[in-house]
Amino acid sequence: MADLVARFRDVFGDSGPVRVVRAPGRVNLIGEHTDYSGGFVMPMALDRAVRIALVPHDEPVVAIRSVQFDERAEFRLPSYGKGDGSILCEAPGGPFRPFDNAQGRPEVLEGRQNTPVPFSDAPHWLRYPMKVAEVLAEEGIVLRGFRAVVDGDVPVGSGLSSSAAYEVASALALLVAARPDVPAGLAAALAEAHGLSAERLAELCQEAEHRVGVRCGIMDQFVSLHGRAGHALVLDCRDLSFEAVPLPAREAKVVVTDSGVKRRLSSGAYNERRRQCEEGAERLREFDPAIRELRDVSLALFEARADRLPEIIRRRCRHVVTENARVLESAEALKAGDLARFGELMNASHDSLRDDYEVSGPELDLLVEIARGVGGVMGSRLTGAGFGGCTVTLARPEAVEPLRAAVLEHYPRRAGLEPRIWVSEAAAGAAVEV
């Protein structure tokens, strides 16, 4: 990662000035299954990121070498010429030939010259920047081609949103190539130079992910752009207003543990819960016509009227209503520097997800149980949609190694799975580094 510029020069044999952009992955600390009821979430940016080193050129082509996937591929920018988003890609694992620097023309493989490959044949990792370019072009931004190397240390496919990090990094790469005069700095300044707010940029990246084929919410792209070092973000999913609350690294580390269980929240289970939330909101509207969705249901109203809901709907709604309250209380606790209270709220969140929302699983429960047994661990819960994926644990810095040791000692034996553990602190959002 440190040598991304050297890597770029190695791949492209180019000695000109190289720009570098980065966008972090994220973890959600509390506020689970609240987004689709217009509620609150509290993610933070990780100190792991996707980085892209690039040099703009005059061809309307984006050529990218992926370090992770050991492939190179390129696509034609949609706002140029044909506007068909056609791509030319090198055969996976095929020979790599450097660019012809004298002419500044991208190399294409013989026989493939100018033969567009359908989107569905593009390498999956190329689809993200392709779709980001498409949405930016539709937004009226005049794009310029570049050659680039992409590398990252956000684990891919573990729920830490490497995809959102990559979309945001791709957007910054495209924007910086189109405006090389914009100096290094935070992403918001670069977006602004193009007449875009950072919020709009997050929406465009979300739209790109939808077009790749994943119906994600906005949280991941939002926090990748807006993350602040030493802070978590309290995000209101209804209007995207947010506030940074302190999470000082010297007092607490955030430990993400991958259970090794593939996230298997089927669309069926997910849609069922969405429906149950909608039904709950509809039934409670009888008592207050201002209730649009569960976000509008106060704890007091819920407690007064819960007996009017069918048992399963009551438990689903209880999770969402109490979880929203927990996020807001967490924000207050962090502002007051009360990490211990925040940890208790994380624990309560997990128990609610397990018992009321029923989206945990034996492996996640086991990881949480192991973590909570370690001195200096303040709280532990599942993070993400559930049924598999990761837990997030808040630990005093000195508790990190005992926690790691406990997980490695007990989890493989009892779950029959290998965990993966990443320690992070709350990091800054996306930026143009160089």
Does 242 bind ligand ADP (CB under 6 A)? Our answer is no
Residue 141: Cβ within 10 Å count:
20
Q: Which is nearer to ligand ADP, 159 or 280 (CB)?
A: 159
Q: Which of 5, 156, 184, 240 binds ligand ADP (CB under 6 A)?
A: 156
Torsions phi, psi for 73 (to 5 deg): -155, 165
Angle at 27 between CA 21 and CA 30, to 5 degrees: 145
**Secondary structure of 205-235 in the HEC alphabet?**
HHHHHHHHCCCCCCHHHHHHHHCCCCEEEEE
Torsions phi, psi for 211 (to 5 deg): -70, -30
Does 148 bind ligand ADP (CB under 6 A)? Our answer is no
Beta bridge partners of 235: 41, 242
Q: Which is nearer to Mg ion, 163 or 383 (CB)?
A: 163
DSSP state of 90: P
Least distance (Å) between residue 263 CB and ligand ADP:
8
Residues 6+ apart with CB under 8 A from 292: 38, 281
Nearest residue to ligand ADP, by Cβ distance, number only: 152
- One-letter amino acid for residue 178 of the chain: A
Does 75 bind ligand ADP (CB under 6 A)? Our answer is no
Question: Site map for ligand ADP, 195-214, x if CB under 6 A?
Answer: -------------------x
Q: Which of 122, 150, 399, 428 binds ligand ADP (CB under 6 A)?
A: 150
Q: Which does 50 bind (CB under 5 to 8 A by kind): Mg ion, ligand ADP, none?
A: ligand ADP
Q: Which is nearer to ligand ADP, 204 or 284 (CB)?
A: 204
Does 163 bind Mg ion (CB under 5 A)? Our answer is yes
Tokens read off for 10: 């190695």
Q: Which does 432 bind (CB under 5 to 8 A by kind): Mg ion, ligand ADP, none?
A: none
Longest dimension (CA), the chain: 76
- Catalytic hit among 151, 220, 258, 356: 220
Reduced to 3 states (helix: H, G, I; strand: E, B; else coil), residue 185 is strand
Q: Which does 235 bind (CB under 5 to 8 A by kind): ligand ADP, Mg ion, none?
A: none
Least distance (Å) between residue 52 CB and ligand ADP:
9
Q: Which of 12, 125, 357, 387 binds ligand ADP (CB under 6 A)?
A: 125
Q: Which is nearer to ligand ADP, 280 or 388 (CB)?
A: 388
> Could you tell me the sign of the dihedral formed by the alpha carbons of 138, 124, 99, 149, in that order?
positive
Q: Which of 5, 7, 60, 68 binds ligand ADP (CB under 6 A)?
A: 68
Which residue intervals of 112-194 are DSSP H helices? 124-138, 162-178, 187-193
Question: Site map for ligand ADP, 157-186, x if CB under 6 A?
Answer: xxxxxxx--x--------------------
* Cα(335)–Cα(352) distance, integer angstroms: 24
Q: Which of 124, 200, 264, 308 binds ligand ADP (CB under 6 A)?
A: 124
DSSP string, 361-418: -HHHHHHHHHHHTSTTEEEEEEESSSSSSEEEEEE-GGGHHHHHHHHHHHHHHHHSS-
The kind and range of the H/E element at 311 are helix 311-335
Least distance (Å) between residue 356 CB and ligand ADP:
25
Place of tokens 């508790």: 399
Does 119 bind ligand ADP (CB under 6 A)? Our answer is no
Residue 236: active-site member: no
Stretch of residues binding ligand ADP (CB under 6 A), selected from 134-142, 153-161, 358-366, 405-413: 153-161
User: Would you tell me which residues interact with Mg ion (CB under 5 A)?
Assistant: 163
User: Would you tell me which residues interact with ligand ADP (CB under 6 A)?
Assistant: 50, 66, 68-69, 124-125, 128, 150, 152, 156-163, 166, 214
Q: Give me the active site residues, please.
A: 220
